[in-house]
Structure 1
Amino acid sequence: MYNIKAAAKILDMPKVTIRSWETRYNAITPARTESGHRLYSDQNLEDLKWLKIQVQENGMKISEAVKKLHSSRKQFYHPEVTDSQEPIEYAKQIEELYQAAVEIDIDRFNYLLDLKFSLFHHQTVFFHIIAPLMVRIGAEWENGQISVAHEHMITNIIQQRFNQFFRVFPVAPHLPKVLALSPSGEHHQLGLLLFSLFLRENGFHVVYTGPDTPLEGLAEMVAKQDFKLVCMSVMTPKSRPVAEQYIKELSDTIPGLHFLLGGQGIDCDDEKINRYCIGTTLESWQQWLDEFKTAQIS
């Protein structure tokens, strides 16, 4: 948490502007000390930085920028991340990126990504633009319209964007270290990337090994790095036995290890003491987080 002096220095903004955007436009709601002094979270700073870009670089009125920020935040907490239907509001942005991807115009694709992140909150870009874009590209690959190499190239660019944001958010030392992976043979990673981003925004130290992570040597790495949670994405039923093998070997080797399981291949009715089904919606993710925090407190 930062006091207003530190926040102003980090953002290179006058303190009076921060107070004005907070009190007059309800842009953010900082915490308060017992004596009433403002304390700004990393999310508050991220929001203020985004608003500053809209006003100073894009010529938007602060009232309009705040309205767009609040709108994107509201939508962020209500999407179904596995839904392939493209949001109408962002259809133009998705189509622009899709055309650049299909034409393998990498410079334009990266330019458009930069533009989207400057115009919209990063949560909106990842969940409402990039997610449906990648679902569409994946469908084109499965239909034979896009080659494997082509799809991998676009996926790599998108993963680099996730990695950039993974490094932005600070880690809370009291939270357990998380390993995020998909088991051997499982190549889908969009949901895993989105959930990893969700965890990072909430202060978890997440190490992302991604799709098709081999079991060999995994237990040694988990023990050596002191991971407490393993987040595993299983998108197809045929991958479920493989995931169970991972859970058994890791549990036998590292007592007390817990697992977060997500994806369409997971049976959420088969929860056990050391595992939790996180579902595919942000609501279910937030529910797990709230329950986790409650358990930690108690």
Structure 2
Amino acid sequence: MNVHRIHRVAKLTGLSKDVIRAWERRYGIVKPLRSANRYRTYTDDEVALLRYVKAQMDKGQSIGDLVATGRERLVAEAARSAVTEPSESGPYERLLNELIKLLDPLRRESFERRLNGAVAVIPFEEALYGILLPLQIRVGQLWHDGRLNVAVEHYVTNQVRQKLFAAMSHLPVHDKGLSVVVACPVGEFHEVGAQAAAYICASRGCQTYYLGANTPIDQLAIFCRQIDPNVVLLSVTTPTPAHEWSSWIATLCDLMTPRQTILIGGAGAQSLSLPEAARRIEILSDLPTLQQRLAVLMAKQSSHVR
């Protein structure tokens, strides 16, 4: 996860440095770390939290009432609001429209300059929820409707994937904490959602193994027996035939140990029904739900370590 000095946080949130320090001192809303030279540093989550609190205050809520709900709840609401706000009223609607216009005909230089510039000046997680994933969804729909060449759709997908890989490469590599294997099952080649999920896991301090697209379930099972992860996370974007799903479930149940959790997300997962025997397999509705589930699992692991 990226970290920011207080002057940059002030620009990103619209709050003065004095207000940020006061909220830290009086209410403990943010908990900055100190760099080697003693400067305050704030994470992307803390920037998102400050922006959420400011937005709620702009709507008439008091700082006292917001603080009374508890910091953990505010963090969860800040993460959820980044995804659930209607796109037409979101801050990046104009940018997304401009980017779409640059695709037909494709004006590569202008598109990449505009996209790169926008992603570079905000916390990456905000860029992920506000720009990259909405752009991917819109371009996919345009291709599905026959309004955009599939080659252009592939081009945009790879631009998004590059941003995700670059962001992950700047995260620390963890050798302790919750271990998570992220993969797309065999026949699933749309991996942006899986990459986003892997980024969320890695940015929360998880030991993250990203296997990518088209991973056969039996080979995933072998890998998991070697790694023994706490969590196996599958991304399914397209509906899966019932007979294939039954086979997956049988294999997944075979690989599970009592301490393992299997999470399945993506648009294709929402139509899946779980048999009674698959009690440790959970369907996730979206990335904020993944964040909340990770927080619970990490808290449980931490309590066991103690």
TM-score by length of 1: 0.69
2:91 corresponds in structure 1 to: 89
Secondary structure, aligned partner of 1:260: strand
**131-140 or 210-219: which moved more?**
210-219
CA distance in 2, matches of 1:270, 1:40: 50
Superposed CA offset, 1:252-293 (max 9, x none): 2564443111134344765734322222251x2243123213
CA distance in 1, matches of 2:32, 2:87: 37
Q: CA deviation at 1:228?
A: 3.4
Given that 2:224 and 2:255 are in contact with CA atoms closer than 8 Å, whether structure 1 keeps it comes out as: no
CA distance in 1, matches of 2:213, 2:137: 16
Percentage identity across paired residues of the two chains: 21
Secondary structure, aligned partner of 2:300: helix
Matched, 1:215 2:205: no
Root-mean-square deviation over aligned CA pairs:
4.0
Q: CA deviation at 1:158?
A: 0.6
* Correspondent of 1:261 among 259, 264, 272: 264
Instruction: For 2:21, give the aligned amino acid.
Output: T
* Correspondent of 2:140 among 121, 131, 138: 138
* Correspondent of 2:293 among 282, 288, 291: 288
Inter-CA distance 259–133: structure 2 relative to 1 (3 Å threshold): same
Extract unaligned runs of 5+ from structure 1.
1-6, 14-18, 51-65
CA distance in 2, matches of 1:39, 1:275: 44
Matched, 1:227 2:232: no
Q: CA deviation at 1:180?
A: 1.4
Q: CA deviation at 1:132?
A: 1.5
Instruction: For 1:195, give the aligned amino acid.
Output: A
TM-score by length of 2: 0.68
Inter-CA distance 160–279: structure 2 relative to 1 (3 Å threshold): same
1:277 corresponds in structure 2 to: 283
Instruction: For 1:234, give the aligned amino acid.
Output: V
Inter-CA distance 45–136: structure 2 relative to 1 (3 Å threshold): closer
Given that 1:181 and 1:209 are in contact with CA atoms closer than 8 Å, whether structure 2 keeps it comes out as: yes
2:166 corresponds in structure 1 to: 164
Instruction: For 1:29, give the aligned amino acid.
Output: V
2:69 corresponds in structure 1 to: none
Given that 2:217 and 2:252 are in contact with CA atoms closer than 8 Å, whether structure 1 keeps it comes out as: no
CA distance in 2, matches of 1:157, 1:238: 27
Q: CA deviation at 1:182?
A: 1.9
2:31 corresponds in structure 1 to: 30
Given that 1:141 and 1:147 are in contact with CA atoms closer than 8 Å, whether structure 2 keeps it comes out as: yes
